[in-house]
Structure formats: structure tokens, C-alpha cells
Homo-oligomer: A and B are copies of this chain.
Amino acid sequence: MQVITTKAEMRRLVRTARAYRSAQEASRATHASGAGGSSRADGVEPGPAVVGLVPTMGFLHEGHLSLARRARSECDLVVMSVFVNPTQFGPEEDLESYPRDLGRDVAVAEEAGVDVVFHPSAAEMYAPGHATWVDVEGLTEHLCGASRPGHFRGVTTVVSKLFAVCEPDRAYFGSKDAQQALVIRRMARDLDQAVEVIVCPTMRESDGLAMSSRNAYLTPAERAQAPVLRRALVEAEVSISGGERDPRVVVAAVVGRLAEAPSASVDYVEVVSTTDLRPTDRIDGEVLVAAAIRLGATRLIDNVVVSPPG
């Protein structure tokens, strides 16, 4: 396991890994050319090395590790970035207190099959006078985009930079951040970034709470209340699957359930289209029911994707 801290070294490593695999392929093809062309005795498909990237802010949990294991199963080189990106935090948000534990992260990442951890400093990632931003319009205006102005601009900019440095063929994101995944997929399409954006299921604690590095902030009393978010969203799923078509009814039920947790306050509960994230008047097709709450000082998000009965 290597930990790399500079962009130049990270790019060099990826390119070397690709070229080495290519050179192996070329050499094999050359040597095999007298004996039946490019087919290979070992049954492995020839081609350049496949590079997978798992972008994280560290303090790894099972959600991150499930992405790493998926990448391991699909890629020749698995890079995990661990970078608490300052540009996606608002001025009043938790940049300073965001939990960090690089030593543990490296150990568990290696266990999950990661080849390289990319861990740049903020000064390494952002040169003095940084002035360029990648912005996805529309999709970023709703849900967390409305609550956290500038957040997604920071996410899309740093992910673009990570894509440029690591040159991945595949990049892995979790479903808990459903809006983030849609925004990044749109960005990759719109900017022709040569990467396949792969979205993986949310990992949960045994009581249903979606895994998140921010769960570490919760006091025991808050932690005991936290599963209400998942419970409320599962009830929304059941309600829509059972035929409820009015998003106002669904939202009211979720808000009512959340009110049972004494420390919870609602940031948003919305029923939106899964394609453009616009609020819907009537549930006619697949929708995303997404919610954000505060439990004390901690902001938690979760969501379900559900279609009404045919």
C-alpha cells in the first residue's frame, strides 16, 4: 500500500501502471504473433489496465469500503482519495471539526483491496489564486443544493480535479448522497470526462441508520433517535408503493414521523423526479424521497427511490 501526497506523483503512478500493462500486452502480442495472433493462453482479455477511483473525505466506514471492494473486483489499479475538500464546506459548516484518522483509513483501505491512497494537502490541491469552478446548473438547485449554497460547486470542482489527476476509467460513489451521484454523472457526461460513474447501495447500521462519517458527531441520546430518519423514509416508500400519489401527503407523513424524535429538526423533506430532481406535483413515475435533518449539531441525510404501482 502506497500513500501519495502530490498530484504529479499520483498522475505518474497511474500512467506508469497503464503503460506497464500496455507494454506487457504489447510484448505478449509480439511474442505470440507467430502462434495464432493476439489470443492469450491465460484467458485474460488484453487491453490497458483499468483504473478505479474511490473519492472520499476519509474517516472510512463500511460504505466507503463497499465501494473499494466493488472497485477491486472490477479494476486493475484501485486508487482511493482521502481529502477533506475545503471548497465544499460553507463558512458556518464543519470543515475544522470533520473527523480525520489517516492511519486507520490506510489500514482498512488496504484490507479492502485499495492499491494507493491519494492524500494531498489543501495547498497541494488548490494553487494560490485558484479561480476555476465547475458548476452543474439545475440539478444542484434543489435538496442539499438549496440548503448548502456552493456545496456542489466545490464537489464538482474537486471531483473534476481528481478525475484529471487520477485519470480513472471508473469512479465509485454511494447512493446515500443521491443528489451528488446524479450531479457527478451529469458533469461527467457534459464535460466528456472519460470515466464511468458507478453508484453503489447505501450501507446501513443494523438499526437502519445510513453509515456516514458524520455519525461520529452524535451524542448517545442523538444516536438513539437517529434511526427515525430511515424509518420515516421506509414508511414513505411503503405508502407510495401502496398507491399514494400525492407528494404533500407523503411529505407530511415523513415530517410527522421525524417530529417524534425530540432532538430532530427538519432541514428538508422532498419528493422529486429522479431524472432532474425537480419537485413533483403528482407521483406518476420513479421518484426520490430525500430528507435532511439536524440532530443537535449534526446534519444527516438519507433517501429512498420508489415507483408507484404500475
Contacts and interface: CB of A to CB of B under 8 A. Distances in A.
Contact of A131 (B133, B137, B194): B137
A48 interface: yes
Contacts of A193: 164
Nearest to A33: B27
B131 A192 contact: no
B26 A132 contact: no
A190 B131 contact: yes
Contacts of A189: 127
A25 interface: yes
Contact of A132 (B24, B136, B276): B136
B133 A137 contact: yes
A161 B192 contact: yes
Given A26-B27, A135-B135, A137-B131, A19 B48 contact: yes
Contacts of A161: 191-192
Copies in the complex: 2
Contact of A130 (B160, B165, B190): B190
Given A11-B194, A30-B30, A192-B7, A134 B136 contact: no
Contacts of A262: none
Interface residues of A, number: 41
A155 interface: no
Given A27-B30, A193-B164, A194-B164, A187 B132 contact: yes
Nearest to A139: B131
A186 interface: yes
A305 interface: no
Interface in A48-71: 48
Interface centre among A132, A161, A187 (most CB of B within 10 A): A132
Contacts of A167: 194
Contacts of A285: none
A268 to B, nearest CB: 21
A138 B132 CA distance: 9
10 contacts: A19-B22, A19-B48, A22-B22, A127-B189, A131-B190, A132-B134, A132-B136, A157-B191, A165-B192, A167-B194
6 shortest A-B CB distances, which residue pairs? A132-B190, A23-B26, A26-B26, A164-B192, A131-B137, A27-B30
